[in-house]
Structure formats: C-alpha cells, structure tokens
Structure 1
Amino acid sequence: MAAHRRPKQRTLGGTAARTALTVALAGAATGTLFEGAGHAEPGATPEQLRAKADTLYREAEEATERYNGAKEAAAEARTALDGLRDEAARRTERLNASRNALGSIATAQYRAGGLDPAVQLALSSDPDGYLAGAEFTERAGARQAATLAGIRKQSRELAQLRSEAAGTLDELTARQEELARHRTAVREKLTAARSVLARMTPAGRAGYASQDGTAPGRADRDTARGGAPGGTAADAPNPRAAQAIAYAYGALGRPYVWGATGPTAYDCSGLTQAAWRSAGVALPRTTYTQIDAGRRVPRSQLAPGDLVFFYSGISHVGLYIGNGQMIHAPRPGAPVRVAPIDQMPFAGATRVV
C-alpha cells in the first residue's frame, strides 16, 4: 500500500514563497505584453525585452554609421581610381605619340645614312645646301636625344601612375569588403530586433514605438512649429541654421531607412547632413565625422541648429531646435520626430557655423 501513497506536498515559506509570488506577478505582467507565453524568453520581463530591443537597435545604428563611412570611403576610392585610370590613358597616348615621332626620326636617318658624309658632300650638286642640311641633321639629332629623354621620363611617370592605380584598386576592394561586412551586421541586428518585437502584443509594440518621442503626426508638426515643445526656425541664431531647422521640420514623419540621406527617407546622420546641405553647408556623412565638422559647444550653451550627439561611440545625432528638444531619425519603425535630448546619453554638441 505504501507504494500507492501520494508524495507529501511541501509548502513554501519565507524567501521561497516571495520568489514564487514575484515570478507569478512577472508572468501576469508579461501576459499583457507578449503574444503568448510560448514566445517569451523564460524569466524575461517587458522592461528586459524593451532594453534588449534598444540595445540591438543601437548596435544596428553603430553598424549603420560604419557602413556609411565605408560606403563614403569606397566612393572616394572609386573616384580616385577612375581619375588615375583616365590620367594613365592620357599619358599612354602622349607616350605613344612621342615614340612614333622618335621612330620617324630614326627611319629618316637610316635612309640618309648609307654614304659617308664626306662622300655625300663631294657628290652633292649643291654643297652649300648639303652643309645646311647637315647642320639641320645635327640639330635633329639633338632633338632626337631630347625626345628619347622625354620618353624615358614619361615611361617612369606612367609606371608610377599605374602602381598608384593598383594600390587604389586594392584599397577599393578592401573598402567594398568592409562595406559588405557592415551591411551584414546591420541586417543581422535589425533581424534580431524585429524578432524581439515580435514577442510583444500589438499594444506592446505600439508603446515601444512611441516611447522615445511623440508620434510625428499633423498635430505634432503644428505644435512644434508653434514653439512647443521645441523652437522654430525663427529662433535660430543665423539664416543657415534657420534653413536647416526648417528642412528638418519638413522631414517630420519620413521613415527611418539605414543608409538613406533623403528626401523620402533618412538615417540619423543622413537627416542632419541633408538639413545642413539645404542651407549650403556640406557636412561629412557619419556621426563620428560630423561631430568634428564645427566648433564644440557645451550642453549649457546649445542653440537651435546645433548638432547633438549621443552614446559613447558617437553613434547617434539629432538637430537641436531649442527648449531641450531635437529633431532626429530614431530607428527603423520610428520615423523622423521631435524628441527630448535627455532621452539618450548625451555625448557632445557641435555648432556648424
């Protein structure tokens, strides 16, 4: 009979009971955020998933900025290579022309060189003319020597040019490989972030999408243009800054697309570059180069139009519009919007003009 007895159930008390209650409450809270318990990581809370998504999106943005830098460097290497190849083609054409000229001189001398010069003078019916011709031949010989020296110089320069082109081609190949690596990294991070978001309910995803700023609808545009929460172009310290701000307001609601520079989509540095480009100022492409594109200013002295940077790796940038607000392109799924600058770790600011 003992074999059929139920095992004695143990009751929980003290720390064990509190732990069980915490897990139960966490599970109840999780049920409001996740599609189903089977999709949630064991022990993951809504805050942990949000933090994980934030981390993945930030890493994707860091990879995006590296991608942007590699893309710009590859374009520069391609332009340099094309220039070197064009110059090599021009120099090759000039070298061939010099060689042809040298060949013509050599052929003429060969044809006239079958008789001793003294015999040619004795047999000439026009000695004075022959002597003048001999002087011309001597001068032609000097020109031939100069032409030969020029050909040697052109050959050396052409070889150097071709060597530079080969080096630039190697650089271009390396940049293209780097570009492919960063492109893969961006896509992997974004795929992982979408996987985390897929565990949330529609309400949870909507809450996450709006957690870093007001959704950029018509009301947001009208409110922001009216001076709250941010400033307006009229508050800018100079006309160029005013134009950059006006452009950024016009971009509100446009989607975030990594690597995009407008006019229909932007990433964070693409937006600031496009805004200042509309004001006639050429900014570099990436966050980590834009921060050095002007004069650094402390946070306490920010003015509308300044570039504001975030995170220790300088991986995010926005355009300051006043009142502690900026316009920025946050991340995929969160379009260009007005947001407070204190929502991310502040890394510095730059005044472009």
Structure 2
Amino acid sequence: MVSHRRTSQHGQSTLAGVTVVSAALATAAAGLSAPPASADPAGRAAGREAATARVDSLYAQAERATEKFDGAQARTKELRGQVAALQDRTARAQERVNRMRGRLGALAAAQYRSGGMDPTVQLMLTERPDSFLEKASALDRLGVSQAGELRRLRAAQRFLEQQRRETVAKLAQLEASRKAVARHKRDVQRRLATARRLLNALPKDARKAFERATRSDGRHEAVPDLHGVVPASGRAAAAVAAVRAAVGSPYAWGRSGPSAFDCSGLTQWAYGRAGVSIPRTSQAQRGAGRQVPLSQAQPGDLVIYRSDASHVGMYVGNGQVVHAPYPGARVRYDPVGMMPISAVTRP
C-alpha cells in the first residue's frame, strides 16, 4: 500500500523508493509495547498492522474525494460567473425590447390621436408578432420604417428568449454542481472520520508510533541541501520560493491558501504567487503544461502521483518535493519517489 509517510531525511541525492507505513508501524509498535506473556505478539502486531494499513488506505481515498470536491468547487465557481453574465445579458436584452416597444407605443398613440390605430401597429405592440411576420404579404401593409422597426423588435425578442433559455440551463448545471460539492464533501468527511475512529481505537503506544511515523512537523526539520539547483524559468523560481515559504503550514482539505492547503491547492497557490494560473485539481494540473521525464525534472515542475493523479507536489531540486500530505500533517519536504509517479509536468 502506498503511503504519504516520510521515507528518509532531507538532503538525499537519490530518489527514495515507495514505502509501506504499516510495516514501520508494526515494528515501532512492537518496540514500544511489551504484551503480556499470555498474549499472542504476532496476532497483536498483525491486528495493528491491518488497522494502520486501513487508516493509510482511508487517507488515500479521502484525498481522491478531496480532489473531486475541489473540481466540483471550481466548476461551481465557473458556473456562477457564467450565470451572472447570462443574467446581465438577459436584463440588457429585456431593456432593449422594452425601449423598442416604447417607441412603437408612441407611434400607436400618435396614430390613435390622428383618427385610429392601424392594425399593423397593433401587431407591433403584441408580445409575440412572429406568427404575423411569417406571412410575408403582411409586410406590404407596413411602411419601410415600420417594417424595419418590427423586424428589429422580432430579433430582439428572439435574442431575449435565447438568453432566458441559456440562463435556465446554466442554473440547472449550477444546482447539479452544488449537489456534487455537497456529496464529495460528505465523502471526505466520512472517510476521515472512519480513519480517526480507527486511530483512536489503537492502543496508545501504537497510536503514538503511527503519529511519529506519518506526521512529521515540516517546520522544525532541517531544510534539504538545495544549493546549485536551477529552476526551469523565472516564474518557476517564484513558484518554488512560494512553495518553500509554505513549508510548515497545515493541511486542510479544500483549501488553497494562504494559511492552509490541500495538495493541489498548494501548487495552484504557489504558481498563482508567481503570476501563473494553473487548474485547481491534480488531475487537471497533470495536463497544465509540457510533460518531461523524471530524469529531466527541474525545480518548479509538478510531480503527479498515482495512476489516477490524485496527489501532486512541486519538485524543488536534489530529489526533493514540497507537498501537502494529508490531514494532520503539515506542508513539508519529502523524497520525490515517495509514491508511484504518473507524470512530471512543467507549467
């Protein structure tokens, strides 16, 4: 099972392999706790290993759900902007129709005062003149000016109806996106709550061993040797400076800074500080630039993890990434090979 836990200390010059947190936990727990002679040490260790492995799996599942939540949040924000623009265009189209109908109303009033209203002018003032207009012979009874005014009104009303239909459709999409946000939020919360219950059910010594193995503080550890590393560009250098400044900040799912982050929120925020806009989710960030081999990775490149691209960190040089690991951890340095890598992307 793949884990986010730290696999080596900072300053490594080689890439670290993928590790399994449960094995380390079993070893640590065995050293911390001496079971009674009547107990089955192997059975106890196996039970703790299974529980901690399950916690590891739940954190990975929660991260996948978090990326879905982030994507739905981004889509909801986009739809809100589209709905607002459509509503503005609809309002302006309605104002135009009202002005045109006002002009036609003035014409009708003038004709009425002069001895009666022409039926064609009455037509102009109806809500839907289209059926009359489809009879081309009717236009023969209109003056050139009146016919042009009526055509313009017809076009304005059609545009208004189109805007109304598009607004209704976007509002339906927005409601569906809001429901998706709520659904993914519940999924994240459920998985994290289950993980917390499993941790709390562990013996105290095993729980402390798990926390030591998986939740390093990113703020009080030695910074890896990054002298001599050269970012891919000036904007990459600015993004690296931002992400390194965030080391020690807490993980918080659904957050993109400035004081707390999830994995893709951290990388999006760091590039935002460099004046570069990248997508919100790790899946979308995988395609947000040119993909390069890991052997050619440069500081500022995005390292996408797992086959489903559910985690991302930023390469900062000398075999190290900075990333926001999972709930309870802080933004920190880790070896680039801490998990299976699916892509390295250069924004």
Shift of 1:264: 0.6
Q: Aligned with 2:106: secondary structure?
A: helix
CA distance in 1, matches of 2:206, 2:251: 20
Q: Distance in 2 between matches of 1:74 and 1:155?
A: 30
CA, structure 1 residues 232+240, in 2 after alignment: closer, same or farther (shift >3 Å)? farther
SS at match of 1:211: helix
Q: How does 1:221-236 map to 2 (within 5 A)?
A: 223-224=223-224, 227=225, 231=226, 235-236=230-231
Instruction: Tell me the alpha carbon deviations over residues 28-67 of structure 1, each in whole angstroms, 9 at most, x when there is no partner.
Output: 9498399xx9xxx988533222211111001000000000
Query: SS of 1:94's equivalent?
Result: helix
**Residues of 1 paired with 2:330 and 2:309: CA distance?**
20
CA contact (8 A) 2:313 2:324 kept: yes
In structure 2, what is the Cα distance between the partners aligned to 1:251 and 1:54? Answer: 24
Structure number with the bigger relative contact order (C-alpha 8 A, sep ≥ 6) is 2
Residue of structure 1 in register with 2:177 after alignment: 175
Partner of 1:88 in structure 2? 90
Q: State which of 44, 66, 77 in structure 2 corresponds to 1:64.
A: 66
| Segment drifting more, 284-293 vs 206-215 | 206-215
1:307 CA displacement: 0.4
Report whether the alignment pairs 1:147 with 2:149.
yes
Q: Equivalent residues in 2 for 1:1-353 (5 A)?
A: 29=30, 32=33, 44-113=46-115, 141-211=143-213, 214-220=216-222, 223-224=223-224, 227=225, 231=226, 235-352=230-347
Displacement of 1:214: 5.0
Following the alignment from structure 1 to structure 2, what is the Cα–Cα distance between the partners of residues 33 and 68? 44
Displacement of 1:244 after TM fit? 1.0
Identity of aligned residues (%): 42
**Which piece of structure 1 moves more, 143-152 or 193-202?**
193-202
What is the CA-CA distance between 1:336 and the residue it aligns to? 0.3
Contact 2:268–2:279 (Cα < 8 Å) also in 1? yes
Give secondary structure in 1 for the equivalent of 2:253: coil
**Residue segments in structure 2 that go unaligned for 5+ positions in a row:** 1-25, 117-141
Looking at structure 2, the residues matched to 33 and 251 of structure 1 have their Cα atoms a distance apart, in angstroms, of: 40
Structure 1 residue ranges, 4+ long, deviating more than 6 angstroms after superposition: none
Structure 2 distance, partners of 1:83, 1:76, is 11
How many Å apart are 1:184 and its aligned residue?
Answer: 0.4
TM-score between both structures, scaled by the size of structure 1: 0.76
Q: Flag the 1:147–1:55 CA change in 2: closer, same or farther, 3 A.
A: same
8 Å contact 1:284–1:290 — kept in the other structure?
yes
**Rg bigger for which structure?**
1
CA contact (8 A) 1:105 1:144 kept: no
Alignment RMSD (CA, Å)? 2.7
1:334 aligns to what SS in structure 2?
coil
1:63 and 1:270, CA in 2 relative to 1: closer, same or farther beyond 3 A?
Answer: same
1:347 aligned counterpart, secondary structure: strand
Distance 1:315 1:292 in 2: 13
Shift of 1:209: 3.5
TM-score, normalisation: structure 2: 0.77
- 1:33–1:321 distance in 2 versus 1, CA, 3 Å: farther
Q: Which amino acid aligns with 1:304?
A: P
CA pair 79-191 structure 1, distance change in 2 beyond 3 A: same
Name stretches of at least 5 consecutive residues in structure 1 with no aligned partner: 1-24, 115-139
Q: Structure 1 212/348 Cα, relative in aligned 2: closer, same or farther at 3 Å?
A: farther
3-state SS of the aligned residue for 1:235? Answer: coil
Supply the AA of the counterpart residue of 1:87: R
User: Does structure 2 retain, via aligned residues, the 8 Å contact 1:293–1:350?
Assistant: yes
Deviations 1:77-108 (A, max 9, x none): 11111111111111101100100100111221
SS at match of 1:218: coil
**Other-structure match for 1:130:** none
